[in-house]
Amino acid sequence: MTENSSFDDIRPYQDGEVSAALARILQSHELRRTLARWRFPRLSHLAPWLTDWLVNQHLHHQLGTLQTVADVQQVVVAYMQRMMATTVTELSFSGLDKLAADKAYLFISNHRDIALDPAFINMALFAHGQQTVRIAIGDNLLTKDYVADLMRLNKSFIVKRSATSPREKLKASKHLSAFIQHSLQQEHSHVWLAQREGRAKDGNDGTNAAIISMLALNRPKTQEYADYIRELNIVPVAISYEWDPCDAAKTQELFSLRQTGEYRKQTHEDIASIAAGIAGFKGHVHLAFGEPLTADYGNAEAVAAEIDRQIWQNYRLYPSNLLAYQQLTGSDDIAKHMSEVELADCQQQRALFQQRLQSIASAQQDIFLAMYANPVLNKTGEASPVILHEQQTAAEATHPSV
């Protein structure tokens, strides 16, 4: 890890900090209570002292002897594998074998799940014997001390989205830009960024050019823009989920935005979304690693457009996407997007898709359909018949985010 103390406020933890961070985590009564309610929902109400003791014993057994970040990530891998056994039918990858094993890459992906997007990228890298990524995470998610400790132990670094004044935002952006370049070029560490602030709740993946502008803030004035972008080794990654465990919640949020123009998050709602995404059924998950950006890009908009192009074209379409597209647009021409085997699977999935759709309030069903259909529309270049532009705040337009 870096020995440059100028990044201490945002960088992931180093091996020498693991023991102290774990000691703080093990002392967190709030974490134990949260885990007890999740693992023993009825017993935690009847005998909270017992479930607190059980969780405490388990945490000390799992974490008490860990000494390094690699040790922590081995535990994370074990948890991921157990989660995948019940919520993922298949995890597949493409394109990673075409990337040089001795280079550090800046992976920029579409953003559907707060925790699992970078986690699945790590699983792909782990399966190919490569180092895991340093993960950009907004400080809006670090509302609890034990959450911040857990994230930074898992190689997360902090994006200061809470900055308010233009001067503070610019300072934070320059600091972040310098850290990302330092990670890639001085420490040869992979980095992951989401292509936009927040999840693409409407399924319409698009890169915020402000993210690219942030990356270029550390460019020396004497260096050409295109050369600096090339040195970052940017690789677009398309992450495709067959089913989104949070699709109903996202639909309700977008409906509220459409009806009232606003949506107020509940306290710690993002943490609840993380839990729902991890525990919910996802079906087939595919990660398509694209090609490094090596052309002579003249500005952030050109870079963002190429990231979008690769993500849209590499996105793996599932029956859930194609059935939504068919129902939303009235098109019968979905066969061109699938092989004969995939087409047969699509017909088999129709009843399941309709069952899921019928669980959504009728006034919100067009939003649900667009959420799954938008990847098809992006791939084909068609316009969506449902306008679901999520409101972009001033902070998103000017400040990097995750």
Q: Contact, 348 vs 322, CB < 8 A?
A: no
Across 351-369, average pLDDT: 95
Q: What pLDDT score does 340 carry?
A: 65
Q: What pLDDT score does 5 carry?
A: 79
Give the contacts of 231 (CB within 8 A, at least 6 positions apart). Answer: 185
CA dist list (Å): 165 to 91, 136, 140, 162, 198: 42, 21, 16, 10, 21
Model confidence at 198, in pLDDT bands (50, 70, 90)? confident
Smallest Cα–Cα separation from 279: which of 65, 39, 100?
A: 39
Q: What pLDDT score does 389 carry?
A: 56
Higher pLDDT, 116 or 336: 116
pLDDT per residue as tens digits for the range 49-103:
999 999 899 999 999 999 999 999 999 999 999 999 999 999 999 999 999 999 9
Q: What pLDDT score does 228 carry?
A: 97
pLDDT per residue as tens digits for the range 232-249:
999 999 999 999 999 999
Residue 16 reports pLDDT greater than 80: yes
Residue type, 19: S
Model confidence at 276, in pLDDT bands (50, 70, 90)? confident
Residue 399 reports pLDDT greater than 50: no
What is the side-by-side strand order in the sheet with 134-138?
Answer: 88-94, 283-289, 234-241, 106-109, 191-194, 134-138, 156-159
Across 25-33, average pLDDT: 92
Domains of the chain, each with CATH number or no CATH: 5-318+391-398 (3.40.1130)
Alpha helices in 232-317 (DSSP H): 247-260, 269-279, 300-314
Smallest Cα–Cα separation from 375: which of 212, 256, 244?
A: 244
Residue 391 reports pLDDT greater than 60: no
Q: What pLDDT score does 44 carry?
A: 83
Q: Which structure tokens are listed for 107?
A: 């992976």
Alpha-carbon distance 165 to 158, whole Å? Answer: 18
Higher pLDDT, 400 or 198: 198
Q: What pLDDT score does 401 carry?
A: 41
Q: What pLDDT score does 321 carry?
A: 93
Alpha-carbon distance 125 to 82, whole Å? Answer: 18
Across 258-282, average pLDDT: 83
> Phi-psi bin for 203: left (phi > 0), alpha (psi -120 to 50), beta?
left
Higher pLDDT, 25 or 260: 25
Model confidence at 341, in pLDDT bands (50, 70, 90)? low
Q: What pLDDT score does 338 carry?
A: 65
Model confidence at 3, in pLDDT bands (50, 70, 90)? low
Q: Is the full-model pTM beyond 0.85?
A: yes
Query: In sequence order, what are the beta bridge partners of 237?
Result: 109, 289
Q: What pLDDT score does 141 carry?
A: 85
Residue 301 reports pLDDT greater than 80: yes
Higher pLDDT, 398 or 279: 279
% of the chain residues with pLDDT over 90? 72
Q: What pLDDT score does 398 carry?
A: 40
% of the chain residues with pLDDT over 70? 93
Alpha helices in 281-393 (DSSP H): 300-314, 319-329, 340-358, 365-380
Expressed in angstroms, the distance from the first to the final Cα of the chain is 22
Residue 397 reports pLDDT greater than 50: no
Residue type, 246: C
Smallest Cα–Cα separation from 178: which of 128, 127, 232?
A: 232
Alpha-carbon distance 237 to 244, whole Å? Answer: 18
Beta-strand relationship, 191-194 and 156-159? unpaired
Q: What pLDDT score does 266 carry?
A: 73
